[in-house]
Amino acid sequence: AVNAYTTALELDPLFLTVLSNRIACYLQLGELARCIKDADALVEKLDAIAMGEDANPNDPKAAAMRVKALTRRGTAYCLQGKYENAVVDYQSAVTLTPPAAAGTPLLLDDLRRVDALCRCSLLKAEGDAAFGSGDVQQALEKYTEVLGIEATFVSAISNRAACNMALGDPLACVNDCTTALELLALDSNATRDAALVVPGATSDSGKGREQAEKKKAAAFPAATSRGGEERSGQW
């Protein structure tokens, strides 16, 4: 499908429905950089059209296409762990979506989910900094705060396990490791990494957990980001 859409765009760079469909394909394939690049291009093209003399500022098809571009790009940012960027895109998408639209409740749910992940990411960074400076108790509290917002934030669970071990609570460490392993079992590629006992909360061996977490975090049912491809040449 990507090859077909690419050929079509070579023939007509303004075939925006095709560009929108290629964005969806790249997202499904995990080609995040290309997904974001195409979404950037689509938003720019829509902006240019909107500034034309004959533009209809209330064109529902153009608005719907913009919302899809924003939510797909937001989902790609989530998969990259760039939650703050994702929040901006989802907020913009919500602003452009009529309150009475059928997909609005789901879109609002997705925005709340992304916002929660953003807060989790910031709190986890604070925990990592505390751990790195030797304040293990403060780090544990930050990771626990993360898990109060999102109980499946795997890297916070794993890092809290390291804190519990450092604080002399092996039972709590085992419980956290067990929970993390159960969650990581959903991503077979990260299971091997999860078996490692990490002495430092920010060590390189945590990369597999971070990648699994990003995949899991962005798997929420976005109202429009993973919608089906356009069936018509009209946008």
The CATH number that applies at residue 125 is: 1.25.40.10
C-beta atoms surrounding 221 within 10 Å: 10
Tally of domains in the chain:
2
Examine the domain organization and report whether 8 and 80 are in the same domain. Answer: yes
Question: How many Å apart are CA 212 and CA 219, to the nearest integer?
Answer: 11
Whether residue 10 lies inside any domain: the answer is yes
Examine the domain organization and report whether 185 and 134 are in the same domain. Answer: yes
From the number of C-beta atoms within 10 Å of its C-beta (0-12, 13-18, 19+), residue 7 rates as exposed
pLDDT tens sequence across 168-220: 999 999 999 999 999 988 764 433 333 333 223 333 334 445 555 555 454 44
C-beta atoms surrounding 226 within 10 Å: 17
Examine the domain organization and report whether 92 and 128 are in the same domain. Answer: no
Residue found under tokens 């067990």: 178
What's the whole-model pTM score? 0.75
Domain extent at residue 52: 1-97
| Residues of the chain scoring pLDDT < 70 | 187-235
80, 106 contact by CB (below 8 A)? no
Whether residue 228 lies inside any domain: the answer is no
Residue found under tokens 């529902």: 60
Output the pLDDT for position 72: 96
First CA to last CA distance, the chain: 19
Examine the domain organization and report whether 1 and 86 are in the same domain. Answer: yes
Angle at 103 between CA 69 and CA 31, to 5 degrees: 30
Instruction: At 14, list the tokens.
Output: 């303004």
